[in-house]
Each structure stands twice: as structure tokens, then as C-alpha cells.
Structure 1
Amino acid sequence: MSPTLWSSEAVETVDVHAVKRLMSSGHRYLDVRTVDEFNKGHLKNAINIPYIFFTPQGREKNPKFVEQVSLVCNKDDHIVVGCQSGMRSLKATMDLVNAGFKHAKNMGGGYAAWLENGFVVKKPQEEPK
């Protein structure tokens, strides 16, 4: 395998404005943050598959990440991958591209940039008492 495939150069990173347009044209959004992060707020219709788990031993990569994505996305799907700041999603997108996902893009700036731009998010609803 060529070394380029393992570098971030193999991954297309798009800003949140481009992501907003892509989402309205049918791209799927894969949120790779932890379940706790996701549950605090996320993009509408996002799919959540954590790339990293925070464990008592520290941060550990989800060993079944690509396998779990393959259960809900096809390798021909147009996917935008996002996290909190854009770092985890860059690595996650590299893994997906290397696994044959042809149209996976990284969202630069992540969920934080999405919020900074005032774009719509889905927040948790309070449970009725």
C-alpha cells in the first residue's frame, strides 16, 4: 500500500458551509464522537459510531469502527465524517477511505465549527415527568 493512502492528503476536508450544502443534497453525516458527546447535541439525521472510546486507561480506538460503519453505510455512499474539532474525524475518514469508502469526506472544524456558525443542531429533549 502506498504511504500516501495513510496520510491526510488522501482525505478531502470540507468546511461546515460545504457540509451544510452536501447534507441538503443527500450526503449522510457520520458523527464519530462518543455516545455521551453525541447525546448532548448533534446534526439532524446523524449516524453515531464512536471512533475513540474514553476508558479508565485513556483513549482507545474502536477496533470495530470500519465494520460498524459497513453495517449502516455502503462503500458507494456519500458520507461526511465529523467529530468535535475535526481531528478524530480526519483519522476516521482515513480509515474509511483505506477500507474502500470512495466518497468519504472529513468535516473541518467539527461540531464546534458547526455551532460557531449557528447552524441547526438536534439537542436532547427533557423527559416528561
Structure 2
Amino acid sequence: MDIVQWIIIAIAAYFVVSRFIPVKGIENITTEQAKAKFKVKKVQFVDVRTPGEYKANHRKPFKNIPLNQLAQKSTELDRDKEVVVICQSGMRSMKAAKTLKKQGFKQISNVKGGMSAWI
């Protein structure tokens, strides 16, 4: 193989691996760990599902800010407090966590499995 092929393989491998490596400052937590945080005053809870999904099934402390509005509405959140994000499966909430991280939030928790894992 020549050098160009090795470079292409290396770039492709980087993109695949970077999708699965945890982002610094974002913790993946279980639904049980999320429930335990309900008692902590310095934690804010955000559900990034659509308003329809949220209305059909949600948990009390979670505030609905759909993923597509999060970048604009993040000013409604306190950057100095931990943010716990949830969606239906954990995929959109991970995107939300990364968005918040880019906007300067320091402590973010993503609920693994989302509402589908809630018992």
C-alpha cells in the first residue's frame, strides 16, 4: 500500500474511534444514578426529545428543551450547575451533551438508554 491509502485508513479509523471515546466532561450515567441526583439542588435536568414525546411520557424534574432548540435555549441553563440530559435512547442526549460542552458547560451527565431504560 502506498502512503495515500495509509492516510485514508488512518483518517477513517480516527472518525470511527472518536464516535465511541467518551468526551471529557461528559459522564454517562444510569437511570438509577439520574434518580439519585433528583435530591441534589445544584443539578438541572433537560429532556431533549420533541414536545410530543415529552408530553406522552416524562419525569417531573426534567425540563423539555428539544435538541434542535438547545443551542439557542442553553442561556436558560446555569453553566455553573451540573446538567443531566435525557432523550428516548441516549443518542440525542449525547449530541445535546456535546453541544452543551462546546458552549462552556463543565459538568454534564448523559442518561444511558434514555427513557427507554427508565424503570
The verdict on a shared fold, with TM-score over 0.5 as the criterion, is: yes
Consecutive unaligned residues in structure 2, runs of 5 or more: 1-14
Partner residue of 1:91? 95
Ranges in structure 1 where 5+ consecutive residues have no aligned partner:
52-61, 118-129
How far apart, CA to CA, are the structure 1 residues paired with 2:61 and 2:32?
17
CA apart distance, 1:110: 0.3
Match of 2:70 among 57, 65, 72: 65
Whether 2:31 is the aligned partner of 1:16: answer yes
Question: 1:55-100 deviations in whole A, cap 9, x for unaligned?
Answer: xxxxxxx2x4222022x21111111000001000001101101111
The size of the alignment, in residue pairs, is 99
Q: Residues 46-85 of structure 1: matches in 2 within 5 Å?
A: 46-51=62-67, 62=68, 64-70=69-75, 72-85=76-89
- Contact preservation (8 Å) 2:90, 2:112: yes
In the other structure, the counterpart of 1:34 is: 50
- Rg larger for: 2
Is the contact between residue 38 and residue 61 of structure 2 (CA under 8 Å) also seen in structure 1?
no
Q: Distance in 2 between matches of 1:80 and 1:46?
A: 9
Instruction: Determine helix, strand or coil for the equivalent of 2:83.
Output: strand
Identity %: 34
Higher helix share goes to which structure? Answer: 2
TM-score, structure 2 normalization: 0.76
**How far did residue 31 of structure 1 move?**
0.1
